[in-house]
Chain A
Amino acid sequence: MPDKSDVLQGTLDLMVLKTLDVMGPLHGYGLARRIEQVSEHALALNQGTLYPALVRLEQRGWIRSAWGVSDSGRRARFYSLTKAGRRQLKTETESWRKTSSIMAKFLEVDQT
């Protein structure tokens, strides 16, 4: 299902996967808060994009979900990375590094 916001989706997916990799299982709210913290609040995450992204990642088999209890005792849905998700994270990270280094070089050249 290609979408108009493909690029944005790609980065958000990568952020979610990376966060889960680093932090272990997290619920939606935890994910959103963590992403905002890491980006030093440069990103205001719209919940209307986060939850569809979670659905998408789960349907693709990269994350799985289970109901658990939060620190405060609230029943919540926790997401964690699957094996396939770990693989996907690796390839995505590679390709993102490549893209950003190319872009960096490109922009440097352009400046001088």
Chain B
Amino acid sequence: MTPLRLLLAKLRALVRRGRDDAMLAEELAAHVDLLAEDLVREGMTPQEARRQARLRFGGTTQVAEAARDQRGLPWLETLARDLRLGLRSLRRSPLFAVTAALSLAVGVAANTVGFGFLYGYLIRPLPFTDGSRLVSVLSSAPSRGQDRWGVTIQDLRAIQGRTRSFDAVAAGTIATVDMTGAGEPRRIEASVVSTHLFQMLGIRPIAGRVFTADDERGASGPVVLLGESLWRSAFGGDPGVVGRAVTLDRQACTIVGVLPAAPAWSAWALLYLPIGQDLLAQPSDRRYRFVARLAPGTTIDQANRDLEVLSAALAKAYPDDNAGVRLFAEDLRTDLLDDNREPVLILYGVVSLLLLLACANVATLLVMRSASRSGEFAIRASLGAGRFQIVRQVLAEHALVTVAGGVLGALAGVWARRLLVTTISPTPGPFRFDLDVPAAAVLALVVLVCAFLFGTVSAWSVTRQAFTTQRETVRGTSAGSDRARLRAGLAVFEVAAAVLVLVGTGLMLKGAMRVAAQPPGFDSRNLLTMEINLPGDGRYEEPARIVQFFRGLTERIRALPQVQSVSAGNPPPYVGWNVAYEAEGKAPQAGAQRPRTMDAVVMPGYFGTLRIPLVEGRDFTSRDAEPGAAPAIIVSQSFVRATWPGERAVGRRVRLTRREAVNEPWREVVGVVGDIRTSTFAPPRGWIYLPQGQPAFSELILMIRFNGDVGSVIRDVQRLVWKEEPALPLHWNHLLDDLIAERYWQPRVYPKLFSVFSALAFAVALVGVYGVVAYASARRTREFGIRLAIGSPPSHVWQLVARQGLRLAVAGTAIGMMAAFGMMRLASTVFFGVSPTDLRVYASCGTLAVIAVLVASAGPAFRAARIDPVTVLRCE
């Protein structure tokens, strides 16, 4: 006998219930008949025998009932009956069912989206072999003004040779290469990586093979791996591409394989080269990042202690490169997450609150609806129904609503999430946001537990009321202050939560608007960017040649009819490099960290083209690029505020400290320009601009302000460039607007997400508040009837109801505001421009909440005032 067999027998019995019942009835009848026959044999008359037999046998119904319970699964049958009843009763009040299910659907949908992000970013194992043991190795050098710096190949060798904390270490960096021989010449972002990186991370190629150790040594000549997107765009996704050659930086490289699009190392890399092939790489270049796998059983702290010792040894071995440099390991996820952790957590907080609100709402609506059913409950209770039976009945209804809302919400959430992921997060790195089975299970569990808790509490309170009503019919509906407190508590919670998200979103939106309203400091409209990198073949060794090339090119471009103005600079305004500096007369304290600032090299006319206002002094001119010109810089207003607050900057001198070894000249400030913002998350930073020629950059980004069709501008500029340098690849033919949008999707997206969710939360909360107020006033129908009957004016009655709503609103609003203040103090550290003490936002949100609650209670109040006292009293 196995439990499974028993279960099967019971299930079969459920299915053939009708036949079994008939058989049982006949069997029991036979029992009675046989007993009667025996009694006749003992001498009774047939009638008397039948009567006696039936008497002795007892109730056939009870026996049949007992046998039936034994035969089937009584709890399943009860459940089915409860659900059937629930369904029938919900169908009688579709408005309740739809409202409750919809509010839950909203909560579940929001949670699906929010949890999808949370899970994808913070919980899902990274898609690499032993992803949980992977760390990033970086360096910091406070004395050189660096807190997240790269690592060198020397460091790599030392780590590989001398620590046992890691069982694998791979390095990688980003480089740009010129690709020719496949369509138009292009500049491409490449990842230069250790050959064993892909084996280490467990990444398999789509076609061909990954690198081997031989590739590092160059045994099979120069090789390259294509990324999937480049493979599709430049080679038409042809698997036969493996084994062919492509020219990179004028060197023929054999394509050995194609890597899948899921970007492991860098979301941007289009192709991958082995480190050994990077001829320009110096072992002391501090531009690598390491991915390392902790040895089994090693913690990140142990690894960091190891790296501490190693850093000291390296500082001794390479004082130039490593003095003051400390290597450290960081969880790979943390490193990859970057700025996303806090917004994701806050987003999840908001959607969790929304789910709680929705559950509270369903519970409130349930309670409200039960008000009209208290009579029914009381009758059932007096007929002998146990309290548990009625609770079960209410819960079954609740479960139906929960399941309907939950399924609807999950579907909506999955759809919304897909939409969001594809539109807002084009480069998520190794993070994926689809819900797999464990994630969906956790999500479902959270929803169910939430719904069940709220449902049970309210079902219990509903029936308590039914049971008290039964006993206290005479005294009516005045008793039970703790029940009233539960309902009021729910309502206050709903209002508070709504105010919390409302204020939070209000502050965040206002912050975002303030940020958006603040001009970025430059005009990115109708501005084409085009990167030009002069070949390193010796023809542009002389700085003067470089300066001359760019000057000639910009002059010819300026002559194009569609072009209004043109200049060039590096880096472009949305990227930042930063550099430590020293202002004259403000020598840093010994040991203190040097101040840092952003810097860029720009050509004359750069500020005019980008429409960055020149506040004071002069722009650079071509004279600044001439050999022997006095070292000059232009600084931004923020720089002036930070360095010489309240003083004039023009004429003062600044020295950059790129490396302690190199002695930079003092440079005189010749002009002050307006601020530009590199990130919407952060306040504007100080910038120093150096004129092209001091030094001369061979890699500049053209900034072209144009009219009309961008395609024709690109073609004309390409023609001009290639007339000068026929094989020069042109990279990044982009509109500045697009680039900025692509880089900074978060500041645009999060406020939008938050405002959608908070609007939903507010609506959901209002429904709940309406439910509570309506319920409370329905409970007082009799009281209102009496009041009206003894002459109270209707206005007095509706004031009573409204006052109750107002009390809830004020209490909830106050609590919500306090919570919002706490939360926003936290959020203001993450989102630039959010001020947690913006009184106007608090005031308007509070007013909105109170008004909304009053509107919600207007319906019930109006109804209360229109009660016909005679009808009420007669009903009672």
Q: Is B69 close to A, CB under 8 A? A: yes
Q: Is B789 close to A, CB under 8 A? A: no
For chain B, the count of residues having a C-beta within 8 Å of the partner chain is 28
Are B33 and A47 in touch, CB under 8 angstroms? no
Chain B neighbourhood of A60, CB < 8 A: 1, 5-6, 9
Chain A neighbourhood of B62, CB < 8 A: 48
Q: Is A77 close to B, CB under 8 A? A: yes
CB under 8 Å from chain B, chain A span 45-65? 46-49, 51-56, 59-62
Are A84 and B27 in touch, CB under 8 angstroms? no
Q: Is B575 close to A, CB under 8 A? A: no
Q: Is B58 close to A, CB under 8 A? A: yes
Are B37 and A74 in touch, CB under 8 angstroms? yes
Q: Is A75 close to B, CB under 8 A? A: yes
Chain A neighbourhood of B9, CB < 8 A: 59-60
CB under 8 Å from chain B, chain A span 24-57? 27-30, 32-33, 46-49, 51-56
In the complex the two chains form, what is the Cα distance from A49 to B65 in whole Å?
A: 11
Q: How far is the CB of B54 from chain A (nearest CB, A)?
A: 12
Q: How far is the CB of B63 from chain A (nearest CB, A)?
A: 5
Interface string of B429-460 (1 = CB under 8 A from A): 00000000000000000000000000000000
Chain A neighbourhood of B64, CB < 8 A: 51
Chosen A-B contacts, 15 in total, with CB atoms closer than 8 Å, are A27-B30, A28-B31, A30-B34, A48-B62, A51-B64, A52-B66, A59-B6, A59-B13, A59-B71, A70-B30, A70-B34, A74-B37, A75-B26, A76-B27, A76-B34
Q: Which of B34, B58, B64 counts the most A-chain CB atoms under 10 A from its CB?
A: B34
Q: Which residue of the partner chain A has the closest CB to B65? A: A48
Q: Which residue of the partner chain B has the closest CB to A31? A: B31
Q: Of the candidates B23, B31, B34, B70, which one forms a contact with A56 in the assembled complex, judged by CB atoms under 8 Å apart?
A: B70
Chain A neighbourhood of B63, CB < 8 A: 47-48, 51
Are B34 and A77 in touch, CB under 8 angstroms? no
Chain A neighbourhood of B6, CB < 8 A: 59-60
In the complex the two chains form, what is the Cα distance from A9 to B733 in whole Å?
A: 86
* Chain B residues packing against A (C-beta within 8 Å): 1, 5-6, 9-10, 13, 23-24, 26-28, 30-31, 33-35, 37-38, 57-58, 62-64, 66-67, 69-71
Q: Which residue of the partner chain B has the closest CB to A73? A: B37
Q: How far is the CB of A17 from chain B (nearest CB, A)?
A: 13
In the complex the two chains form, what is the Cα distance from A61 to B2 in whole Å?
A: 10
Q: Of the candidates B13, B24, B35, B66, which one forms a contact with A29 in the assembled complex, judged by CB atoms under 8 Å apart?
A: B35
Total CB contacts across the A-B interface at under 8 A: 77
In the complex, the 8 A-B pairs of residues with the closest C-beta atoms, listed nearest first: A52-B70, A29-B34, A59-B9, A76-B30, A51-B67, A29-B31, A55-B70, A60-B1
Q: Is A72 close to B, CB under 8 A? A: yes
Q: Which residue of the partner chain A has the closest CB to B3? A: A1
In the complex the two chains form, what is the Cα distance from A28 to B29 in whole Å?
A: 11
Chain B neighbourhood of A61, CB < 8 A: 1, 5
Are A27 and B71 in touch, CB under 8 angstroms? no
Chain B neighbourhood of A77, CB < 8 A: 23, 26-27, 30
Are B30 and A29 in touch, CB under 8 angstroms? yes
Are A51 and B24 in touch, CB under 8 angstroms? yes
Chain B neighbourhood of A49, CB < 8 A: 66
Q: How far is the CB of B399 from chain A (nearest CB, A)?
A: 24
Chain B neighbourhood of A59, CB < 8 A: 6, 9-10, 13, 71
Tell me what chain B mostly uses at the interface: helix, strand, loop, or mixed: helix
In the complex the two chains form, what is the Cα distance from A27 to B66 in whole Å?
A: 18
Are A55 and B67 in touch, CB under 8 angstroms? yes
Q: Of the candidates A27, A47, A54, which one forms a contact with B57 in the assembled complex, judged by CB atoms under 8 Å apart?
A: A47
Are B66 and A51 in touch, CB under 8 angstroms? yes
Q: Which of B30, B37, B62, B64 counts the most A-chain CB atoms under 10 A from its CB?
A: B30
Q: Of the candidates B13, B23, B30, B58, which one forms a contact with A46 in the assembled complex, judged by CB atoms under 8 Å apart?
A: B58
Q: How far is the CB of B845 from chain A (nearest CB, A)?
A: 57
Are A72 and B30 in touch, CB under 8 angstroms? no
In the complex the two chains form, what is the Cα distance from A77 to B34 in whole Å?
A: 12
Q: Which of B13, B57, B64, B71 counts the most A-chain CB atoms under 10 A from its CB?
A: B71
Q: How far is the CB of A60 from chain B (nearest CB, A)?
A: 5
Known: A29-B35, A70-B34. 17 other contacts (CB 8 A): A27-B30, A28-B28, A32-B31, A46-B58, A47-B58, A48-B62, A51-B66, A53-B70, A55-B70, A56-B70, A61-B5, A70-B30, A72-B37, A74-B37, A75-B26, A75-B30, A77-B30
Q: In the complex where A47-B57, A60-B6, A74-B37 touch, is A52 in contact with B67 (Cβ < 8 A)?
A: yes
Q: How far is the CB of B46 from chain A (nearest CB, A)?
A: 13
In the complex the two chains form, what is the Cα distance from A30 to B34 in whole Å?
A: 9
In the complex the two chains form, what is the Cα distance from A76 to B26 in whole Å?
A: 8
Chain B neighbourhood of A29, CB < 8 A: 30-31, 34-35
Chain B neighbourhood of A75, CB < 8 A: 26, 30
In the complex the two chains form, what is the Cα distance from A74 to B1 in whole Å?
A: 33
Chain A neighbourhood of B57, CB < 8 A: 47
